[in-house]
């Protein structure tokens, strides 16, 4: 196959469309990630919408929300926002060709994400000892389900970050820094909605 030949089964028109998308910055990987994130937004958006509707119908939930530890929630919000910054800096570093610095920043992100989960674990322990469980009432069912689902997504993000760091050390998967960064920003955005709804909207 010559440098200008087309893959078997690909028309010149299809090839031209593909080139147009690539020149516009819409690579297959980026498009796939945006579609994945859209699906995640539908899931979390549906949960948040259901919670808001129930909250409007049950003003007494404000009393239940007073039992959440907003100081812990605030600190964890700062942790996630900082981790989002380190992801941006990691992408900037890889864009400048500094893979080593990018790895260091991603490792900081992993550390911050792990810190978030550890703090959340202590928070859950505190709430369970206080007698608040998913079976306590509907508010706490929403609270544990939404924050638990969010924590699972953070855990998944940490695994992805670890894999990408390993690849970068072998000078592979440089493009993946952008994709995992988009995912991590989604995790942050979801928490930005969960925090006021569950902790401070009392």
**Per-residue confidence band for 95, with pLDDT thresholds at 50, 70 and 90:** confident
**In the Cβ-directed half-sphere of 6, how many Cα atoms lie within 13 Å?**
12
Map out the domains of the chain as residue ranges: 28-200
The more confidently predicted of residues 167 and 190 is: 190
Please tell me the CATH superfamily of domain 28-200, with its number. Cytochrome c oxidase, subunit III, four-helix bundle (1.20.120.80)
pLDDT, tens digit (0-9, with 9 covering 90-100), for 131-189: 999 999 999 999 999 999 999 999 999 999 999 998 887 776 677 888 999 999 999 99
């Amino acid at each position: 196959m010559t440098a200008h030949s087309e893959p078997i089964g690909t028309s010149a028109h299809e090839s031209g469309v593909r080139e147009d998308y690539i020149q516009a910055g819409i690579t297959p990987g980026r498009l796939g990630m945006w579609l994945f994130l859209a699906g995640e937004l539908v899931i979390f958006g549906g949960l948040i919408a259901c919670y808001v509707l129930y909250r409007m119908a049950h003003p007494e939930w404000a009393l239940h929300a007073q039992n959440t530890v907003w100081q812990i929630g605030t600190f964890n919000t700062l942790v996630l926002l900082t981790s989002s910054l380190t992801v941006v800096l990691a992408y900037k570093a890889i864009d400048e060709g500094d893979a080593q610095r990018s790895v260091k920043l991603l490792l900081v992100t992993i550390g911050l994400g792990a810190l978030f989960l550890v703090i959340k674990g202590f928070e859950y322990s505190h709430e369970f000892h206080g007698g608040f469980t998913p079976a306590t009432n509907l508010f706490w069912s929403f609270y544990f389900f939404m924050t638990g689902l969010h924590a699972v997504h953070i855990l998944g993000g940490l695994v992805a970050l670890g894999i990408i760091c390993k690849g970068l050390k072998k000078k592979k998967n440089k493009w993946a820094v952008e994709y995992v960064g988009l995912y991590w920003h989604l995790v942050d955005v979801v928490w930005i909605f969960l925090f006021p709804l569950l902790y401070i909207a009392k």
